[in-house]
Structure 1
């Protein structure tokens, strides 16, 4: 839902500067220090690499190294969605275009029916194309139907084929690399402190796959830079006085187009809460949405509380993971601290 902020939302208090500012008085801001400590003590027992809580554009608390550039995994999809929104507004991308019109195919060949899938179908993970894809997790492979099981637009499936092909389409239509475009159109205007994509360091790359023509496009982002991205969406795509992502696109991105069972719902490559569901063991406020990456990467945006919660794991280490149940418990503890003494929890 598009939300209009009062003029004071543009003040210095509502935004980080070159670096993040801290909340000055936790109690006045509605937080319990004791309950925050309970959340942090629990985070210390799991594989949390970094945790950052932002309310009203100010940092409530952090844990771990918020400057470390962790792999983003599937959070990359929400980053690309934002870029697509910018270029759709500017006329470079038309969501109604079909794969046939675009000349998109793949190694095993797409049928005439599959080629009727539109950019919109891919964006909402409803392409009906279950061709092999790169960068998939075991869970993603397990939920993929057989080829040709569903027509385009009729069935939701969280499939990397859709997301990777969107990367190919973005570059084809704009002439831009995804990571360079993110650096110029989003990271730079937001004032990211750690993300770089230049001649000295590139925090994004392409991963080809032998089974598909469409590569994945991983990113590295620090917790504090990812929190900026969450705040950008919380503020309807605006950063201070500048509209970076069209507000209408932000609003459309986080609508529940497809039911995702216990995981809530799905929008334009964002996960959306539905009737409080989305994470095991916690009832989240209505309107909550998140960017998620495998093994414990979350950027949770909670508009009713003006809140962004970022959680990262050092997944460069093979044995490091925070599962959905562990994160659900951690999120419940954080929300309990925000709601104050006696706050309702699941």
Structure 2
């Protein structure tokens, strides 16, 4: 009885919080009672108890487009770190479908270079597809890198393009530069107009993005700030094959390709698609994927359960953040609790 009272109270509070804010055209999330949706309430509570230990800023659990549970500050916008890459991937899907970007184009074709030591002829043979799958073989210094990546970065020309996966900020930043060059648009304004507005994001605006340049590279990073409830909409868009309210926002083929593992990684059973991590199909079923960022930022889709799970972490509140492995464990608990 106590468990049901707690979850019912959370559902009422969540429905109120989620309905606040946003533009007039945004439709608030509908919240349903977990037990009536067939969830195991005891397992859901155990997952929440585990999440409470991790101290995220917010978690949202969405199934079939309805909020099953949420806790924390779902309207608080945080820097979602490397989740930015999956957001850019969505814009790439649109640009590719419009013929503005060719995945087979090489950096030489596109005139992409960098500050000295400049790219070699061999490095410039990397294609846009190589960058999307983090297999460019270009190990030039990049903006917005972590110390860990700087230490692990392979030597220049140690791997030919397309042959070796490395979680490489140079690839991701250069993709931002290529997008702007080939479309003539700004990443954040385009995201607001082409994705955020059509799917009814309630908190995001183009001012929630910024470019971060550093002296060692001419290609800036492009961090985004998102709320958990807006991130959940993005996850739902991908879960539904790029379609929202009858409109194809992102090509369905691109969504499928993004969540296909093209590269083995150093993260065990996790693979890498087009700027999306793929999750172990033996655990989560086919097509499960995740956008993941430093400190515990995550948007996960589990098609076999019609499930979207979002976690945000404000590092100003929780300096240690949440490890990716801990979020994956939480996701597994939630998937087990789901019907």
TM-score normalised over the length of structure 1: 0.87
Instruction: Note the C-alpha offset of 1:37.
Output: 1.5
Alignment of 1:137 with 2:146, yes or no, is: yes
Which residue is 2:242 aligned to? 237
Give the number of the structure whose residues are more often helix, by fraction: 2
Instruction: Find the aligned partners of 1:243 and 1:275 in 2 and give their Cα distance.
Output: 26
Verify the 8 A CA contact 1:22 1:60 in the aligned structure 2: yes
Q: In the TM superposition, what are the counterparts of 1:323-338 in structure 2 within 5 Å?
A: 323-338=323-338
Q: In the TM superposition, what are the counterparts of 1:1-346 in structure 2 within 5 Å?
A: 18-23=27-32, 25-107=33-115, 108-197=117-206, 202-261=207-266, 262-276=268-282, 283-317=283-317, 319-339=319-339
Instruction: Find the aligned partners of 1:239 and 1:158 in 2 and give their Cα distance.
Output: 31
Deviations 1:180-236 (A, max 9, x none): 100000001011000012xxxx10000001111100000001000000000000111
Instruction: Find the aligned partners of 1:60 and 1:100 in 2 and give their Cα distance.
Output: 49
Verify the 8 A CA contact 1:254 1:289 in the aligned structure 2: yes
SS in 2 for 1:28: helix
SS in 1 for 2:319: coil
Instruction: Note the C-alpha offset of 1:323.
Output: 1.0
Which residue is 1:342 aligned to? none
Deviations 1:234-271 (A, max 9, x none): 11100011000011111111111001141510000000
Give the unaligned 5+ runs of structure 2: 1-24
Instruction: Note the C-alpha offset of 1:288.
Output: 1.0
TM-score normalised over the length of structure 2: 0.89
Instruction: Note the C-alpha offset of 1:275.
Output: 4.4
Instruction: Find the aligned partners of 2:146 and 2:316 in 1 and give their Cα distance.
Output: 15
Verify the 8 A CA contact 1:71 1:316 in the aligned structure 2: no
SS in 1 for 2:308: strand
Instruction: Find the aligned partners of 1:318 and 1:129 in 2 and give their Cα distance.
Output: 34
SS in 2 for 1:154: coil
Instruction: Note the C-alpha offset of 1:318.
Output: 6.7
Q: Which one is further off, 65-74 or 256-265?
A: 256-265
Q: What's the RMSD between the two structures over aligned residues?
A: 1.6
Instruction: Find the aligned partners of 2:269 and 2:311 in 1 and give their Cα distance.
Output: 17
Verify the 8 A CA contact 2:133 2:262 in the aligned structure 1: yes
Instruction: Find the aligned partners of 1:325 and 1:79 in 2 and give their Cα distance.
Output: 22
Aligned pair count reads 313
Verify the 8 A CA contact 2:241 2:256 in the aligned structure 1: yes
